Amino acid sequence: MPILHFARLTCRLGLAAAVLLVGTASRAQFATAPPALPPALLASQADSDQAYRRDGAKHLYASYPMRVYRGKLPPMLYGVAVVETDIDGEGNITDVRIRRPPAAPEVGPWILQMIRKAGPFPPPARLGQVTYSEIWLVHKGGNFQLDTLTEGQQ
């Protein structure tokens, strides 16, 4: 009888450890950003920084389709950050900075890497240059949505 009790206890402890491992985000996945896919670059016809935000978000989704979170996000996110990006007249990133850092410190540098790897962005033809802000919503699995194109939260 004690052996059976020990076997059940060992099984329960193993299941509890597995739940803990699966339930926590791996910081290693945020160490480096994945490579960006080269999307087709069409000039943006946006006439304001706010209008360009949609073109920038679409560009990032096209660059990282494998990392876009599909569907409604869960209520608790691993990281939320406000990022500001400067784009010159040719679509090159001249600066990118975190305006509101995420609670998980490894997510901020990961976001900056992803934005830089996704360059160049659509040239802002009507603006000459643009500075736009975006809110990044990051899931613990390493997927994201951008506030501009979000499908909402549960």
pLDDT, tens digit (0-9, with 9 covering 90-100), for 9-45: 444 444 444 434 444 556 777 888 878 877 667 899 9
What is the predicted pLDDT for the residue at 36? Answer: 80
- pLDDT value of position 115: 98
Domain membership of residue 17 (yes or no) is no
Q: Is 69 a domain residue? A: yes
Q: Which domain holds residue 73?
A: 27-149
> In 10 A of CB 129, how many CB atoms?
15
In a domain, 7, yes or no: no
Separation of alpha carbons 125 and 45, rounded Å: 6
We report the CATH number of the domain holding residue 51 as 3.30.1150
What mean pLDDT comes out for the span 56-77? 97
Report if residue 20 sits inside a domain.
Answer: no
Residue of higher predicted confidence among 103 and 4: 103
Across the beta sheet with 79-87, the strand order is 93-100, 79-87, 130-138, 144-146
- C-beta separation of 95 from 46 below 8 A: no
Residue 154: inside a domain, yes or no?
no
pLDDT at 85: 98
The pTM assigned to this predicted structure is 0.78
Total number of domains constituting the chain: 1
C-alpha 87/C-alpha 133 separation (Å) is 11
pLDDT at 66: 96
Within a domain: 15: no
The verdict on residue 103 lying in a domain is: yes
Task: Give yes or no for a cis peptide into 2 (omega within 30° of 0).
Answer: no
Q: Is the pLDDT of residue 99 over 50?
A: yes
Query: Residue 118 domain-assigned?
Result: yes
Mean pLDDT of the chain: 86
Residue 12, pLDDT score: 46
